[in-house]
Amino acid sequence: MHKYSSSQVESFAALGIVNTTTEPAFRCAARMFSNSLRGKAVLDFGCGAGRSTMFVKALGARTVIGADINKEMIRLAKKKYNSHGLAFYNVTGRIPFRDSYFDSAFTAHMLVESRTTKEMLAVLTEIYRVLKPSSTLVIVTSNPKALGHEYKVGYTKRKKGLKSGDRVDTVINGRPSFTIKDTYWTEQDYHRAISQAGFKLVKASYPLAKGKGWLDETKVAPNIVYKCMKT
């Protein structure tokens, strides 16, 4: 995972969704869930400071549990969103819920913080464990084809000769701007980890932004959105 400094966590916590580079992917995720979250218990794994958890709650979920390895992110998420009926847990590896507890799960911008394919598989396997059979996991993750493109809020610098597992710099234009050490993964890496964890990949989307005020978000999708099903 990336080691966020306190000021990076504060800057990340101040980011919203609307008008940011992630907006098209979150809109797409909302379509993938359609109305399936109404009244359900949902997990947001790698919830950061809680914007993605709040997003899931706004789709009609009854309960949303945000889980993250970073204590400072969880502290800010609790401060910002506890009054919205969300609950947040600091986790290292194990999600503190029984097998097949959740009706659905979401994970956004988390897989690129896995440093090895083994680590990526471990987090997906743990999400799989706590999901009910036939339930949906929606993943938002960086599009490897987006490297080097210019985006409003987050863009990943292109490097020559990248291989799976190499570190890449993602610049987040927050206040202040900062750089996250992400990991370069190909689509094949994502597909392999998804299926090895036991999920069926149902759909992959490459959502573009529409309208004015964007940079390359209208030309090359910054993120891929995967709809997966627990088989």
Ligand X SMILES: C[S@@+](CC[C@H](N)C(=O)[O-])C[C@H]1O[C@@H](n2cnc3c(N)ncnc32)[C@H](O)[C@@H]1O
144 binds ligand X (CB under 6 A): no
Given the complex with ligand X, which of 126 and 134 has the nearer CB atom? Answer: 126
Closest CB to ligand X among 135 and 156? Answer: 156
Could you give the C-alpha distances from 106 to 21, 56, 124, in angstroms and in order? 18, 8, 11
Residue of 117, 69, 58, 116 lying closest to 93 (CA atoms)? 69
Q: Which member of 28, 29, 32, 47 binds ligand X (CB under 6 A)? A: 47
Q: Report the C-alpha gap between 228 and 139 in whole angstroms.
A: 8
Span near ligand X by CB under 6 A; candidates 56-64, 103-111, 155-163, 195-203: 103-111
Contact track, ligand X, 52-71, x by CB under 6 A: x---------------xxx-
Cβ pair 206, 221 in contact under 8 A: yes
Q: Which of 32, 59, 91, 221 binds ligand X (CB under 6 A)?
A: 91
Q: Is 51 in the site for ligand X (CB under 6 A)?
A: yes
Question: Which residue shows structure tokens 């947040």?
Answer: 88
Check residue 129 for interaction with ligand X (CB under 6 A).
no
- For residues 179, 111, 50, 91, the Cα torsion angle rounded to the nearest 10 degrees is -110
Shortest approach of ligand X to residue 180 CB, angstroms? 7
Helix, strand or coil, per DSSP, at residue 26? helix
**Which among 63, 49, 43 has a CA at the least distance from the CA of 17?**
49
> Least distance to ligand X from the beta carbon of 2, Å?
7
Residue number with the smallest Cβ distance to ligand X: 48
Question: What is the binding site for ligand X (CB under 6 A)?
Answer: 1, 46-48, 51-52, 68-70, 73, 91, 108-110, 113, 123
